[in-house]
Amino acid sequence: MIDSYGPWAVIAGGSEGVGAAFAHRLADAGLNLVLIARKPGPLAETAEAVRAKGVEVRTLELDLVSPDPLKKVREVTDGLDVGLLVFNAGANSYGHEFVTGDLDRFQDVIDLNITAQLAFTHHFGGLMKERGRGGILLVGSLAGYMGQPQISIYSAAKAFGRVFAEGLWLEMREHGVDVLELVLGVTRTPAMERAGLNMDIPGLNVAEPDDVAREGLEHLKDGPVWVAGGNYELARKRSGHPRDKLVAGTYKAMQELLPDPA
């Protein structure tokens, strides 16, 4: 992996959950890391753990909805030979009905899941195109396959991410740059737990962070989209028609999983 994607990897959202799992797996493969995250405690803990594996680690405490986050990222990464971008920062869903919600909060969802992702991909993807090799792994969600109440903007942003990855994959493959959107289902992460999702429903398919990180890296060359955690058939069904019956029926089936709005 270091020959194809090294010697440096940038992980946005690299402090806990799936991001931390990526950090450990990439450190095991010998890649140096730039870890970017909002929470200083988990960020420092993950950096210390992967640094102990013998790789160089730089950290940047940064909220990606702040103005021009790429400027601060470049202060840490300019001069490094970055061959892999993992954009895993996208947990902000702001659960609220759209017409009664706060537009500024919805804008934060868009800025994190779309605007920041585009800025990172544009910058690092351009460098990878010039060097003639590299990888871009964008972490997506099954939420992007279907509109849902309370998280309509988040679902729409994740749908954007998948379609964007498909077009980018076509553009970059002839330049030696692999592009993959890794679609996650229910995954046992701190962000999911903080959201209050009920992951103890009998029969619910719950993935572990290390398993989906492994899948993503193993299938980085199998773009443009890889659905992790055994959820391929579910993603296929959510892409079907007629949309009215499919959307309403799937939401009804999911209500047991969702936290109580109260």
* Residue 193 is assigned to a structural domain of this protein: yes
Which residues are within 8 A (CB) of 198 and not within 5 positions of it... i.e. 6 or more apart? 256, 257, 258, 259
* 199 located within any domain: yes
Is 158 an active-site residue? Answer: yes
pLDDT in tens, 131-180: 999 999 999 999 999 999 999 999 999 999 999 999 999 999 999 999 99
Q: Is residue 168 part of a domain?
A: yes
Question: Looking at the domain assignment, is residue 129 inside a domain?
Answer: yes
Residue 129 bears catalytic tag: no
Residue 260 covered by a domain:
no
Residue 81 and residue 167: Cα distance in Å, rounded?
Answer: 25
259, part of any domain = no
What is the C-alpha separation between 127 and 19, in angstroms, rounded? 22
Mean pLDDT of 231-245: 94
Q: How many domains does the chain have?
A: 1
Q: Which of 53, 129, 154, 245 is catalytic?
A: 154
Contact by Cβ (8 Å): 190, 149: no
pLDDT of residue 188: 77
Residues 6+ apart with CB under 8 A from 14: 20, 22, 23, 33, 35, 36, 37, 43, 46, 86, 88
Q: What is the pLDDT of residues 120-131, one digit of tens each?
A: 999 999 999 999
d(CA 27, CA 56) in angstroms, rounded, equals 9
The yes-or-no verdict on residue 57 having pLDDT over 90 is yes
- Tokens, residue 156: 């729409």
Task: Find the domain containing 189 and state its range.
Answer: 2-254
Furthest-apart CA pair in the chain: how many Å?
53
Report residue 163 as tokens.
């379609």
Q: Which of 158, 221, 232, 237 is catalytic?
A: 158
CATH of residue 103's domain is 3.40.50.720
Residue 261 pLDDT exceeds 70 = no
126, part of any domain? yes
Give the pLDDT confidence of 27-37 residue by residue, as tens digits: 999 999 999 99
